[in-house]
Chains A and B, each alone.
Chain A
Amino acid sequence: MTQLQDDKELPHLSSDQLSPDQLSAYYSGKRLLRNEIHIQEVYFQWLLSKQYFIPVPAIKRKLFHYTCQRCGNSRRSLFGDIPCASCGETHVYCRKCIMMGRVLACDFLYYWNGPVIERTLLQYEPCTWEGTLTSTQEKAANRIVKAIQLQEKELLIWAVCGSGKTEMLFAGISEGLKKGLRVCIATPRTDVVQELKPRIQQAFSSIPIEALYGGSNDTEAKAQLIISTTHQLLRFQEAFDIMIIDEIDAFPFHSDPSLLFAVQRSRKLKSTSIYLTATPRKQHQMQILLKQLPHFFVPVRYHGHPLPVPYMKMSISLKKDVQNNHPPASFVSWLKKRKNPNRQLLIFVPTISLVESLLASVTKLLLQEQMIKNKFEIASVYANDGARVEKVQAFRDKKLVAIMTTTILERGVTFPSVDVAIFDAGHDVFDEAALVQIAGRAGRSAEDPKGEVVFFHDGKTEAMIKAVEMIKEMNKRIADF
Chain B
Amino acid sequence: MKCRVCRGPAVIDIRRHNANFCQEHFLRYCRTQVEKTLKEFSMVKPGDRVLVAVSGGKDSLAVWDILLHLGYEATGLYVGLGLGEYYDVSGRHARRFAEERGLELIEVDIRGTYDIDVPTAASVTGRAPCSACGLSKRHVFDQATLAGDFDALVTGHNLDDEAAVLFGNVLHWQSDYLGRQQPVLPAGHGFPKKVKPLVRLGERETAAYCVLAGIDYLVEECPMAKGNKHLHYKAALNLIESESPGSKQAFYFGFLRNAVDLFSEQRTYSEPEEQRERTEPDDDVGMLRACEECGATTNSELCAFCRLVRSTAGTKPVPIAMTRKRN
Q: Do A and B come from one complex?
A: no
Residues of A within 8 A of B (CB): none
Binding site for A on B (CB under 8 A): none
